[in-house]
Homo-oligomer: A and B are copies of this chain.
């Protein structure tokens, strides 16, 4: 399996995030991608290549063009008003307020965000674009006939909606990939194994019947993003039945997780998918600092094996996982399990 790695990912390096009422060093840091690269290389899974896809025009297939343009210019507007600190939203258009894009950068940030943990730096947009190019290169490999590919994109993407950033995510690498694959005639299922519900991906495809979305994640009654990811969200309109949420409670280990993964895979088979995009988050790990599942390193081998059993062309797109030292091994284990 080829790994696509874009060194520009490290241009996104936010200093802080707001969590538990405090500004903490950002959990979503460049070291994450570097250790995954290291362990995937050590595992000799296959060549590591640079992205060959160029440009992010495809992002506008699932995102509002205005939102993409905002991301590109946001830090410039921010720095004019606030100087060199990372851009973070501090207020948002809640239910008693108007749903309009204000002129002010603080207003714009609130308009295009759904959390305050997602900082933008001077060079973040270059990394975000590099993440999209990484993912699109994975699509090219799949369309060229490869059985699988691993897009080691960073920052992650699955929380990003059509027009909002949040949860460390800006542009939705997996959703963009799925959309391009679908436009190429593939019947695409997205399997989201990140600890957090992929609210952005779900929202983007919720009313569409041509792309299936299955997610296993911390129960939103307990866990971020709180406002989406419940089991009763099964799709709407043409998308009815094409959305499968399998929320699990804090403390869930492989027994419960594996059973949910079976269900998700059964859904993908029933949908008749020929291609799978895996939103590969590793924050289900027992030592993850912001998550509360109990998966062990060896469980990721089984996760990869189960996905392989689908027998479908598979594009892995990197998402979350914050137990940095084990993150490389856990990621490699999924891919090793898949190849075995």
Contacts and interface: CB of A to CB of B under 8 A. Distances in A.
Nearest to A99: B95
A156 to B, nearest CB: 16
Contacts of A224: 91, 106
Nearest to A221: B103
Interface stretch (A34-42, A112-120, A140-148): A112-120
Most buried by B among A18, A94, A106, A222: A94
A309 interface: no
Contacts of A331: none
A21 B164 contact: no
Interface string A94-129: 111111101110110011011111010000000000
Contacts of A227: 91, 93-94, 97-100, 102, 107, 110-111
A282 interface: no
How many identical chains are in the complex?
A: 2
A18 B98 contact: no
Interface of A: 18-23, 78, 81-83, 85-100, 102-104, 106-107, 110-111, 113-117, 119, 161-164, 166-167, 199-200, 203, 220-228, 230
Given A94-B166, A100-B227, A107-B220, 19 more contacts: A18-B116, A20-B83, A21-B85, A21-B87, A23-B23, A90-B115, A90-B117, A91-B114, A91-B224, A92-B94, A93-B94, A95-B99, A96-B162, A96-B163, A96-B199, A96-B203, A98-B227, A98-B228, A99-B227
